[in-house]
Amino acid sequence: MRNFETEAHSTIAAGSFIDSFDQTTSLHLAEAIIDSSEDAIVAKTLDGIIRTWNNGARAIFGYEQDEIVGRPVLVLIPPDRLEEEHMILARVIRGERIDHFDTTRIRKDGGKVDVSVTVSPVRNGEGAIIGASKIARDITFQKLAHKRLLKASNVFTYSSEAIAITDHQGRIVEVNDAFCSTTGFARNEALGCSFESFLKSEDGIAEFSAILLSGTTEHLRIESTGRKKHGDSFVALVTVTAVKANEAMIESFIFLIADVTELREKQKQLEAAAYRDALTGLPNRRSLVTKLEAFIEQCVRTNETFALAFIDLDGFKLINDTQGHDTGDRFLAAIGERLSQSLREGDFLARIGGDEFIAILPGVQSAEHCRGIVERLLSACSRPILLDRIELTTSCSIGVSFLMDRPTSPVAMLNAADRAMYEAKQYGKNQVCFSAESLSSETTTFILP
């Protein structure tokens, strides 16, 4: 049951409490409110003399009340902004209110503080304007945050790198101009799409969210295949950053996409050059060793074999000395082309330096088995080559080694073929010498042309 008597007493007490607020009490209440404000609340005369100073003003500007009251407000104004005070006072005298005027003021220690100022005229009992009240709010942090936001916005807008921002599900909510230029999609075509739709799924990019959500990292870099609007593709270096609302929840993802197609193409060219002989265009020694290792591993695993032919030109030094190095280089290039044409499909030919060439002959198990191939190699080197209307003729000596049943190495096979080639030279050149069935044996057999 409601207690009407108690309610009546409460109402009377409240009324008495309100009635007790006389003019003096109201003044004290206003002063308390002013002093508790974090904003600077200052009153000044029409000639700019400070008359009141609250705790908020002390915190913002650094002056105690007894240090500043009675002094001109100009002590707070930078020299290059003095005209602002004249403008403010002129508007106050006209009875105007100035709302949220952003400016800069000077602290006691000489430092500057960004403030938002609201100024109102102060009137006496007759309504005449006798001064101004000013509320100044410290907006230094907001200004700094705004500058940072503006800088971030400029980076996003003007970056040459494509940027896409997605929600926590990977749906695009914003892209920059570079993204549109890179992919060919207009902004309105990209918004709302899954970011993964711009990459080929087989590259594994679809798992980026699972990786980032696992908490093991906040950044992920993946090289993927990007998709352009009209079906073209490009090599995309994608950096993904998770933006977290808190430790447990991802709010959004930021994707930076760099088109590295040209860079990767140049890298491929450089890598290809590192494995190619610049003079003949054939694979070089580095490529040969890599190929030999692969052949040995495969043949040992499949119980197959192959032969290695070491080809060294006879008399090339005389051509080089009498005709010049330029002609000698052209002669070597022509020999390289002839040797390539003499081999079977699937054979491998490399120039390892000077006038030395190496051929890998898959499936060859014996001297008799490769007789036809080495005879074609001998013929290729012995036929005259016409350069600048001059017929140049040389021959070659060939040493052949075989992959044995037991494991061996590229160096062992090359050394065996090298020894066999030098024996061929000792026996009159322009012929072939085969290493024995065992690479450790010195026994050799010969085929004369």
With tokens 């006691």, the residue in question is 108
**Average pLDDT score, the chain:** 83
Neighbouring CB atoms inside 10 A of 34's CB total: 20
Whether residue 234 is found in the same domain as residue 301: no
Q: What is the DSSP letter of 3?
A: -
Whether residue 280 is found in the same domain as residue 424: yes
Which pLDDT score, from 0 to 100, does residue 211 have? 61
CATH of the domain at 359: 3.30.70.270
CATH of the domain at 203: 3.30.450.20
Task: Read off the pLDDT of each residue in 406-414 and give the average, rounded to a whole number.
Answer: 82
Residues across the chain: 449
Whether residue 258 is found in the same domain as residue 289: no
Which of 93, 111, 139 is at the close of a domain? Answer: 139
Q: CA-to-CA distance for 41 and 244, rounded, in angstroms?
A: 39
Which of 228, 263, 298 is at the close of a domain? Answer: 263
The DSSP-derived string for 274-287 is HTB-TTT-SB-HHH
Q: Which helix H or strand E contains 401, and what residues bound it?
A: strand 395-402
Whether residue 321 is found in the same domain as residue 407: yes
Q: Is residue 361 part of a domain?
A: yes
Place 12 in a pLDDT band, splitting at 50, 70 and 90. Answer: very low
27 has pLDDT over 90: no
Whether residue 385 is found in the same domain as residue 345: yes
Q: CA-to-CA distance for 287 and 298, rounded, in angstroms?
A: 17
Place 218 in a pLDDT band, splitting at 50, 70 and 90. Answer: low
Q: Is residue 33 part of a domain?
A: yes
- Three-state DSSP class for 343? coil
Q: Is residue 5 part of a domain?
A: no
Q: CA-to-CA distance for 412 and 401, rounded, in angstroms?
A: 9
Whether residue 44 is found in the same domain as residue 115: yes
Q: Is residue 399 part of a domain?
A: yes
Whether residue 220 is found in the same domain as residue 334: no
Neighbouring CB atoms inside 10 A of 123's CB total: 12
Which pLDDT score, from 0 to 100, does residue 23 have? 56
Print burial letters for 163-191: b (CB count within 10 Å at least 16), e (below 16).
Answer: bbbbebebebeebbebbbebbebeeeebe
Integer CA distances (angstroms), 196 to 193, 209, 228, 384, 435, in order = 8, 10, 13, 61, 59
**What token pair was written down for 400?**
């052949």
CA 349 to chain centroid, in Å, comes to 39
**What token pair was written down for 292?**
């030999």
Q: State the catalytic residues.
A: 355
- Three-state DSSP class for 228? coil
Q: How many domains does the chain have?
A: 3
Q: Is residue 29 part of a domain?
A: yes
Whether residue 249 is found in the same domain as residue 389: no
Q: Which residues have CB under 8 Å from 243's CB, separation 6+? A: 250, 251, 252, 253, 254
Which of 237, 263, 289 is at the close of a domain? Answer: 263
pLDDT digits (tens, 9 = 90+) for 375-398: 999 999 999 999 988 999 999 999
Q: Is residue 8 part of a domain?
A: no
Q: Which residues have CB under 8 Å from 108's CB, separation 6+? A: 61, 62, 63, 67
Half-sphere exposure of residue 235, counting CA atoms within 13 Å on the CB side? Answer: 10
Which pLDDT score, from 0 to 100, does residue 51 have? 92
Least-confidence region, from 7-16, 54-63, 436-445: 7-16
- Three-state DSSP class for 353? strand
Q: Is residue 246 part of a domain?
A: yes
Whether residue 111 is found in the same domain as residue 174: no
pLDDT digits (tens, 9 = 90+) for 180-194: 988 889 999 989 888
Whether residue 255 is found in the same domain as residue 279: no
Q: Which helix H or strand E contains 329, and what residues bound it?
A: helix 325-342
Whether residue 202 is found in the same domain as residue 113: no
Which pLDDT score, from 0 to 100, does residue 215 have? 56
Whether residue 232 is found in the same domain as residue 316: no
* Owning domain of residue 399: 275-447
Q: Is residue 324 part of a domain?
A: yes
